[in-house]
Structure 1
Amino acid sequence: MIPVAEARARILAGVTPVSAETIPLTAAAGRVLAAPLRARVTQPPADVSAMDGYALRAAEANAGMALRVIGAAPAGRPFAGGLGPGEALRIFTGAPIPEGADGILLQEDARLDAEGRVTAADQVTPGRWIRPRGLDFAEGDVLLEAGRKLGAREIGLAAAANHPFLPVRRAPRVAILATGDEILLPGEAPRPGAIYSSNSFALAAMVAAAGGAPEILPVAPDDAGAIGALIAGAASADVLLTTGGASVGEHDLVRAALEAEGYRLDFWRIAMRPGKPLFHGRRAGGPAVLGLPGNPVSALVCGVLFLLPLLAALLGREGWALPLSRFRLGRDLPANDKREDHLRARLLRAPDGVMEALPFERQDSSMLRLLAEADALVIRAPHAPPLPRGADVEAIPLAALGL
């Protein structure tokens, strides 16, 4: 068995990002930027008012002069001229500052007389309430680096920088193959000895959340020919995920079928719990393959630890790493054995305000319900000593992964 970190490094070795495509800004949410995004304009394009009020010379306002209001400048309709001595301009938020003005008198601090002259009821500080040209960004500035996942903030910034289209990585294609005579699809009539497939649907959701394009293949029976045919049909995918058939039983046919299709398997079995029987391989000119255990909890934990980093690498997200946080342990834990453990846990705020990780008492890897109820995976190193309640532990918060 190899360590988790080594397995992840070997999976990621030599991975190159998928190709790029250009898409409309309106379709870019959740995609990953393929090239640095530079500003095509300067924002704001001129010195503008940050408040509603009057543009004027601060020294004149502070001297108590009654200034003649010569016009108004709503946002989007700049005033055509400048200010002369003893003049002020009614101005609104976002409107350009006229030549000759160096301050803004807030409208709530302004006194307007019947003759249309304004005086200041408070001091006007030169430059205050004026947003200088380029305060946000200047034309040519790099606003977003390649590899950035595009959310609402990034989309808004790209729009403000005048980008109607964005270069993004295409979504990595992930083919998902579940195997086993015992597998039923949700909605099919139950039969003795059968279980309903959950892995394909859960993994597809994980792939989609990470920016990939999942394709659920038909469930393969325990038949070498049927498995091989489905593997051959997935040759155009970027990643082939298999679930089940990865152990040592006489019906575990997946590895043999992969080798028959030209895949070279790199490793099999990892020193981890849950998920020991995971394998990885590649085929020249074909997809990478991750063989996940058939156990639903094991498959999903392996998806977190290995599939998500692989998808990040395919999307060019340099520096991406699984989120790790420290929490106070909510109950005693016994010593660990030779495998790295990943304990399903709830995150709860203790009465003193500190966040605690409370691992479930039972960690049986067949209990998918506990994974659905978990907020985090508490990580325990191989041969870790017993830990008392109140100790510090490291965990992967699942919400941070969108799971």
Structure 2
Amino acid sequence: MKLLLSVEEAQARILALAAPLAPENIPFTDAVGRFLSKDVTALRDQPAAALSAMDGYAIRFEDLPGPWSITGEVAAGAMPSRAIGAREAMRIFTGAMLPPGADTVVVQEDVAEAGAALVLTGEGPAARGKHVRARAGDFAAGTCLLAAGARLTPGAIAAAIMAGAPAAAVGRRPRVAILTTGDELVPPGHPLGVGQIPDSNGAMLAAMLKEEAAEVGLPLHAPDDRTLIANVLRDLARHHDVIVTIGGASVGDHDHIQGALAGAGGSVDFWKVAMRPGKPLVAGTIGTAALLGLPGNPASAFVTATLFLLPLVRHLAGARAPLPLVRQAPLAAPLAAGGERRDYLRARLDADGLTPFASQDSGQTVPLAAANALVIREPRAPARAPLESADYIAIA
């Protein structure tokens, strides 16, 4: 086994730990953020007939500039009472079906009624079909509107419903357990003893997962006791699809995740990735659950969760493209040469470009709070000047 995997190798092996979960049908009102388990194919034309896009009068374009005789009216949701013929017009409202024979709508601001006649007072429509929504102008029956694995946004939900889908066919939400470890950690808001620090990582990961298609329980905590951690892991594996631990991922005297995983009957797929921060990452399985052991420093936990945990959750939920999107932007400040591992640098992206922070200490939370981007610096990359392009991942 390679001691240090590349980020891409680690991502591929983590996604291979478990297959996407079984699909389910749910109401569209509950479906935002979920991933489609099958294509959405239109069952109908939209619109199903030519409709007026404005309030006005349905006419034949060839009869311009009028005048016309008014033969009735049609409202949205109603069938036209008759067809229109030469030099005839029918009052029509937005969303109403065009009567047979009509091909254009003249807006009400461009005409006036003179007794039973309609006369043009403005410029009128410039072309045949003006102010008309053509049949199937949005989509036609049989069109694949949304591909399996697509994330359901509010707009996508509207399209799926308009296509005739009765419910959302989506992947089940993975059940995720968060377990922080370490004798030095104290729950948020509790008094601190000597050498103790508040346990910020559990709440941070829960917040990161809040916008994902996942069921996340309250973060749990275990002290540095290998047997106790093994018992907790064994119990969590019975009820969860993903277990993410924070801290204890290395192999020091007080790093117990690998040993506890073995003690619980699980196995390690790999540990250690050629990246900074976040080198000591454990990936494995216990029962049917995938396990990720993240390092304990806040920036390390955040970066590894961004690159590995969130993609795993999206993969299990059925995402077609679960990995974070890598973008490019110009640098607003110099970027020093790279080292032996790939760096993910906390940075700020604004109108001037990307500015990596001076301090990249993985234990600091203030730079993490200020960052909205992770600048990617490849191993042994040359120094770069302002205005040169850099790869980055957007973060909240």
Q: Same fold (TM over 0.5)?
A: yes
In structure 2, stretches of 5+ residues that fail to align are none
How far off its partner does 1:362 sit? 0.9
How far off its partner does 1:298 sit? 0.4
3-state DSSP of counterpart to 2:208: helix
Any idea what the Cα deviations from partners look like across 1:35-62, whole Å, max 9, x if unmatched? 1112233211111112211112222233
The match for 2:185 is: 183
Aligned pairs for 1:313-328 within 5 A: 313-328=315-330
CA distance in 1, matches of 2:136, 2:334: 56
* Paired amino acid for 1:371: L
3-state DSSP of counterpart to 2:367: helix
CA distance in 2, matches of 1:165, 1:328: 44
3-state DSSP of counterpart to 2:220: coil
Instruction: Work out whether residues 25 and 163 of structure 1, in 8 Å CA contact, stay in contact via their aligned partners in 2.
Output: no
- Larger mean CA deviation between 10-19 and 42-51 belongs to 10-19
CA distance in 2, matches of 1:100, 1:290: 66
CA distance in 1, matches of 2:280, 2:361: 16
3-state DSSP of counterpart to 1:216: coil
Any idea what the Cα deviations from partners look like across 1:340-378, whole Å, max 9, x if unmatched? 11111111223xxxxx11111111111112111001111
Percentage of matched positions with identical amino acids: 43
How far off its partner does 1:123 sit? 4.8
Instruction: Work out whether residues 103 and 126 of structure 1, in 8 Å CA contact, stay in contact via their aligned partners in 2.
Output: yes
Residue 243 (structure 1) aligned with residue 246 (structure 2): yes
Q: When the two structures are superposed, what TM-score results if normalisation uses the length of structure 1?
A: 0.92
3-state DSSP of counterpart to 1:393: strand
3-state DSSP of counterpart to 1:159: helix
Out of 269, 273, 283, the residue aligned to residue 276 of structure 2 is 273
* Paired amino acid for 1:247: S
Distance 1:237 1:86, change over 3 A: same
CA distance in 2, matches of 1:140, 1:155: 18
CA distance in 2, matches of 1:133, 1:38: 17
3-state DSSP of counterpart to 1:140: coil
3-state DSSP of counterpart to 1:395: strand
The match for 1:378 is: 375
What is the total number of aligned residue pairs between the two structures?
A: 390
- Larger mean CA deviation between 193-202 and 102-111 belongs to 102-111
In structure 1, stretches of 5+ residues that fail to align are 351-355
* Paired amino acid for 1:239: V
3-state DSSP of counterpart to 1:299: helix
CA distance in 2, matches of 1:389, 1:241: 38
How far off its partner does 1:164 sit? 4.3
How far off its partner does 1:111 sit? 2.6
Instruction: Work out whether residues 43 and 142 of structure 2, in 8 Å CA contact, stay in contact via their aligned partners in 1.
Output: yes
How far off its partner does 1:217 sit? 4.6
The match for 1:353 is: none
The match for 2:21 is: 18
**Over 4 Å off, 4+ runs:** none
Instruction: Work out whether residues 34 and 171 of structure 2, in 8 Å CA contact, stay in contact via their aligned partners in 1.
Output: yes
Q: When the two structures are superposed, what TM-score results if normalisation uses the length of structure 2?
A: 0.94
Residue 6 (structure 1) aligned with residue 9 (structure 2): yes
* Paired amino acid for 1:23: I
- Larger mean CA deviation between 273-282 and 1-10 belongs to 1-10
CA distance in 2, matches of 1:14, 1:50: 52
The match for 2:160 is: 158
* Paired amino acid for 1:377: L
The match for 2:116 is: 116
Aligned pairs for 1:255-334 within 5 A: 255-283=258-286, 285-334=287-336
